Amino acid sequence: MKAGLHISNDKFVEVDNLEKVIKSSQRGIVEISKEIIKNSLFTNGSYTFVGDKVVAIASVKIEFIEFID
């Protein structure tokens, strides 16, 4: 699976071979596996996308995310 991250300031980051997303929020840390990622709600918080590269997003605004099989 591939994730296309469209973030503020017209930046685009692509993560190939996405394995999981780690969400950190006031409620704690949650790992979201690639099997359930398309059914997950993404709200405010810090995210780490783990695949062929690791992308951590802490302070930028995510405009939208594309998940491509």
> Over the stretch 14-43, which tens digit does the pLDDT of each residue have?
999 999 999 998 888 999 999 999 889 887
Query: Residues 3, 48: contact at Cβ < 8 Å?
Result: no
- What is the model's pTM? 0.85
The CA–CA distances, whole Å, from 29 to 2, 8, 23, 42, 66 equal 22, 24, 6, 13, 22
> Over the stretch 42-69, which tens digit does the pLDDT of each residue have?
877 799 999 999 999 887 788 899 998 8
Domain segments of the chain: what residues?
2-68
